[in-house]
Amino acid sequence: MKDTPLSNCERAFLLQAITEKKRLDGRQTYDYRNIKITFGTDYGCCIVELGKTRVLGQVSCELVAPKMNRPTEGILFFNLELSTMASPAFESGRSSDLLIKLNRLLERCLRNSKCIDTESLCVAAGEKVWQIRVDLHLLNHEGNIIDAASIAAIAALSHFRRPDVSVQGEEVTVYTPEERDPVPLSIHHMPICVSFAFFQQGTYLLVDPNEREERVMDGLLVIAMNKHREICTIQSSGGIMLLKDQVLRCSKVAAVKVAEITELIQKALENDKKVRKEGGKYGFAESIPDQRITVLKMEKAPVDTSDVEEKAEEIVSKFEPLSKVVSIPVVLAEGTGQIGEGVGNAWGELEASEDEEDEDDEYAAMAEEESNSSKKESVKDQVIIMSDSEEDDVIILEPDSPAQARKAKTKTEKEASCPSKTPRGKKKKSGR
């Protein structure tokens, strides 16, 4: 999966902020992000946090046969892994160009600079040597992977302890940590990488670029240096042309940053050694700060109750005695209780205006019922005569007498029985 590209608006915003010497996280041009180094319970295990970029380093060792051309030197092996957990842009199980470039840079920085005495790793010349393997896992990617990886690698190597061995003739004995104390590695110096990002063809420079700044940069310069101001390796990528003055300025800045980071690593190692010696708690779990909800928590305060009675009597004596007149509770209705001279409970009672409206509604309802009953009676007296002929219907309303109504009814029945005799187009009139 490829990384999501930046939009034109984001790219323009980042470049405009860099030209104004401003960064998204509020840092200055030469400022590093906060660095935190945490060691695990086992020797040679550490986590380095560079801002939100997090790298896990683990060192292991085993006895192997040496190389033919160097029979008295141990072997150093570095492996950096970019997992999909760190960023969705990385593919697991495949070596990308970025991964190959980072591994080669780590090897040049740590192995080719001879920071570790490989001859001290020899057990039997030409037969057995120690192979030191450094595995680095990127846990979260937020920019500047190489700096965080180099700090994690050198910190893990400094913290690592290999088992002690003894050689008697051709027999090699490896002792457990309970039998003999493990032996630390012989480290001559601590090379650390410092990254410089260039923008607009080298016009602007930033130290420790984050992930978004790396997307818009034109080139990257990585300088590996130790605290003695010795350059171990230097690499430029991006295809930009740098001047001699720019490289010299970057080397001076790198010397200051490397001295600060080296001091930070040494302090972390001393603190871990002190805690282990005193028998205190150590490891990743102890380094995580406790996050608890303390909103409803109240601190305990001691209360002295020896002279409570005396204080109570003193307080009572200061106040004037109460008057003898005490208001009597008045109960105005069942189920209600009042203290003092209050007004009666009016819950559920109707006001005078509402009573009048209810009475008016009752009168109106009664009048409507009377009118409906009279209408029903008048409808009963009406006589409706229907005919099946093609002529218009004849309706007699309010007949003068019952005899006339019967006469009209018989007449309509005859017409219904003989429709052919009835001329078309003539209407029958009522016999009123």
Write out the two tokens for 383. 């006589």
Residue whose C-alpha is closest to residue 209's, from 422, 416, 431, 27: 27
Percent of the chain residues topping a pLDDT of 90: 37
pLDDT tens for 63-74 read: 999 998 889 999
pLDDT tens for 334-384 read: 555 555 555 555 555 555 555 566 666 776 777 777 666 665 555 445 545
pLDDT level of residue 50 (50, 70, 90 thresholds): very high
Write out the two tokens for 319. 């106040």
pLDDT level of residue 309 (50, 70, 90 thresholds): confident
Residue whose C-alpha is closest to residue 58's, from 164, 160, 185: 160
Q: What is the pLDDT of residue 423?
A: 46
pLDDT tens for 104-127 read: 999 999 988 889 999 999 988 888
pLDDT level of residue 270 (50, 70, 90 thresholds): very high
Q: What is the pLDDT of residue 56?
A: 94
Does the structure show a pLDDT above 50 at 1? no
CA atoms within 13 A on the CB side of 131: 12
How confident is the prediction for the chain on average, in pLDDT?
79
Q: What is the pLDDT of residue 425?
A: 44
Q: What is the pLDDT of residue 360?
A: 66
Highest average pLDDT, of 1-15, 215-229, 302-316, comes from: 215-229
Task: List residues bridging with 406 in a β-sheet.
Answer: none
Q: What is the pLDDT of residue 422?
A: 45
Q: What is the pLDDT of residue 349?
A: 55
pTM recorded for the entire structure: 0.66
Does the structure show a pLDDT above 50 at 300? yes
Higher pLDDT, 117 or 396: 117
pLDDT tens for 136-148 read: 999 999 989 999 9
